[in-house]
Copies of this chain bind each other. A is one copy, B any other.
Amino acid sequence: MAVNVPPLPDLLPVAGVAIGTARAGVKASLPADRQDLVVMLLDEGASVAGVFTRNAFRAAPVQLAEAGIARGGVRALVTNSGNANAATAEPGLEDARRICAAVADKASLPAGSVLPFSTGVIGQRLPVDRIVGALDAAIADAAADGWARAARAIMTTDTVPKALSRQVSIDGATVTITGIAKGAGMIRPDMATMLAYIGCDAAVEPDCLHAMVREVADRSFNRITIDGDTSTNDSFVLCATGHSGPRIEDTASSAYAALRDGVADVATTLAQYVVRDGEGATRFVTVRVEGGADSAECLRVAYTVAESPLLKTAIFAGDPNWGRFCMAIGRSGLASLDTGRVNLFLDDVCVARGGLMADDYREADGARVMAQAEFVVRIELGRGDAAETVWTTDLSYDYVKINAEYRT
C-alpha cells in the first residue's frame, strides 16, 4: 500500500527518445498481464550520464553500463526486471554482453552503443535466450509514448508504477523532462535508487550532464532510505537528446541551473515515490536535521534516526516515544554532542527542548501528528548552520512478510 503516490499521470514524450516493452518471462511467476523487458532508443547525438551503486558486489550490468557511459555514443538502454544479474561474476558479464550485442544487431546500432540494466533476484544467471527472444517485440513496440509501459515493466516488489513529467523554460525554449523509477526495498542508495531513468530534450555537453546527474542524485536518490540496505544494482541515468533549447556547456550558467532544478524536481519526486512505495510502508516520514556543524553530521543523525528499527516500529505504531528518538540521536556517533542543546519537533509540535521532554508537551499532540500518513521529524542539534533532509518509512509487519516470503 503506497503512501500517497498519485495514479500514473499523463507523461510527456521526450523528442529523441523511443521506448518499447515486451514480455520475456524472466521470472516464471510473472503475472500474465505484466511485461519485464524495456528497450529505450536514443537519437544519435544524445548525451548520457549516470551514477551507480557503491556496493562492492556491483552487478554485471552496472559495470558494463558505467563503462559504456564513459565510452560515449550511447544509442540504447536495455532493461530486464525479475533477475538482477548480480554476483554472477564473468558469466554474468558475458550474459549482459550477449543481450547488448543482440539489441545492437536487431536495432541496427553500432556495437558497444547499448547499455544493460537488470533488477530482481541476486545470484542467479539471466535467462538470456528468453530475453533475446523478446527483443524483436520490444524494438518493434518502440514509440515516443512508451514511458508509462516502461514504468510498469521495470517493477519488482513495487506496488505502483512511478513516473512523472515536467517542463521548464530555458532561454525562451520549452524543455521537457520525463522520468521513471522502480524500487521498494533494499533501499539506501549510495548513489541512486535501484533503477531510475530521466530523459530530457535539452542539449547538454557530456561533462555538464555528468556534473548534473551527481548534483541531482545528492538531492534526491541519495537522500532516501527504507531499510538501509544498498542494492547491487542501483543505477540512475540521465539522458539529454538535444532536440530543444540552447546547448548547455557551462555548469555556472543560468541555463544549467534551470535544467538541473527541473531534473531535480522530477528526481526528488521519483525518489519520494520509491519511499512511499517502501515494502510494507504505512507512513512517509521526512527527517530534517538542522543546526549541525556540517552536512555530513546532519546526514549521520538523519540516517541513524531513519534506519533505527526501534524508531521505525514506534512510527508504525504511531507512538510518539521521545526515548527512542533520543536513543537514536545519541547513538549516531557525533563527537561531543551536547544533548542539552537538542530539540525535537513532530511537525509543529515541540516534543523535547534542551535534551528534555518539553514542559508543555502533551503526548496526545505527538500522537495526533504520528497518526497522519505523513509527517516531519525535525531535530535541532544546536551546533552550527548545516541542515539535511532524508525521507523514510516505518517498519511494519508487512515489511517482514514481504521479505520473508520474497523468493517463495
Residues of A that sit less than 8 Å from B by CB: 54-58, 84, 86-89, 121-124, 185-186, 188, 190, 227-232, 308-310, 313-314, 316-317, 319, 321-324, 326-332, 334, 337, 339-340, 352, 354-357, 395-397, 399-401, 403-408
Contact = CB atoms under 8 A, between A and B. Distances in A.
26 contacts: A56-B331, A56-B332, A57-B327, A57-B330, A57-B339, A58-B330, A86-B326, A86-B327, A87-B356, A89-B356, A121-B323, A122-B327, A123-B322, A123-B326, A227-B308, A229-B309, A230-B327, A310-B403, A313-B400, A313-B404, A314-B404, A316-B400, A317-B404, A317-B406, A397-B400, A397-B401
A349 to B, nearest CB: 15
Contacts of A340: 89
What's the number of copies of this chain in the assembled complex? 2
Given A229-B310, A310-B185, A310-B227, A400 B396 contact: yes
Given A395-B400, A399-B309, A327 B231 contact: yes
Contacts of A396: 400
B329 A57 contact: yes
Contacts of A334: 56
3 smallest CB-CB distances across A and B, nearest first, come from A122-B323, A57-B330, A317-B404
> Most chain-B Cβ atoms within 10 A of its Cβ — which of A55, A229, A330, A354?
A330
A307 to B, nearest CB: 8
A88 B326 CA distance: 11
Contacts of A352: 87, 123
A123 B309 contact: no
Given A55-B331, A227-B309, A329-B56, A89 B404 contact: no
Contacts of A339: 56-57, 87
Contacts of A403: 309-310, 313-314, 317
Contact of A407 (B56, B319, B337, B399): B319
B321 A357 contact: no
Given A87-B355, A188-B331, 7 more contacts: A123-B322, A123-B323, A190-B331, A310-B403, A313-B403, A313-B404, A317-B406
B321 A407 contact: yes
Contacts of A309: 227-229, 309, 395, 399, 403
B397 A230 contact: no
B89 A229 contact: no
A308 B57 CA distance: 15
Given A316-B404, A331-B230, A352-B87, A186 B122 contact: no
Contacts of A319: 404, 406-408
A57 B381 CA distance: 13
A135 B292 CA distance: 44
A124 B337 CA distance: 21
Nearest to A330: B57
Nearest to A228: B309
Given A331-B230, A339-B56, A84 B401 contact: no
B327 A55 contact: yes
Contacts of A86: 323, 326-327
B87 A323 contact: yes
Contacts of A329: 56-57
Contacts of A330: 55-58, 230, 232
